[in-house]
Structure 1
Amino acid sequence: MIKPTKTRRQLHQELEQQVQEFLHKGGHVNEVPRGLSGRLDANGPLISIFDGTSQEDRTPLPEVVAAIEARKKPNLAQKLKKPRPRKKVILDDFGQPLRWEWVEE
């Protein structure tokens, strides 16, 4: 049997009750001014967590990339080799349309 999930209102009330119990037992909440950062040097740039030599540790695989690209290109080559037929108007000597013909170029 599946336990029914709590609604947002129930979760909010439960959290509010826990906060009130904490405060009633003598706990206190430190207020932090808005805009204050937890970083040591908030004026400097963010420090990357991806420090290291990952660029140097990579193994070049040009033959794999070439094989993948080669699989993509036959589809394009087939489309370029076989153009779709198109309708062409056939005109009489006076420039009036006579009929339409399908032509392959």
Structure 2
Amino acid sequence: MIKPKTTKRDTREELESLVDQFIKRNGTIQQVNMGESGLVDGKYNTSHIGFNEPKQDRTPLNHVVAAIQQRKHTKSPTTPAAKKRPKKKIIYDDFGDPIRWVWEE
């Protein structure tokens, strides 16, 4: 049996019922300013931002790129040329009905 997809309306109703149950059990909702929940001690949490280390020097690999490009543009003599295979062609009469098959090269 296929499980029906939950719609946005179903999700909203479920959340509203959960909030109502929380409030009925004497739960309190704390109001916070927008963006405040992302702050740590009143400042943005920068420990997860990846700019703490100094800039590293890159290793030049121009000779490696040149070797790859050269291999890409040189054709290897080991690959044989593809032989042309005969193709099967259908012959039609004047009314468009098929008559017979013939092989063409």
User: What's the TM-score, normalizing by structure 1?
Assistant: 0.45
TM-score, with structure 2 as normaliser = 0.45
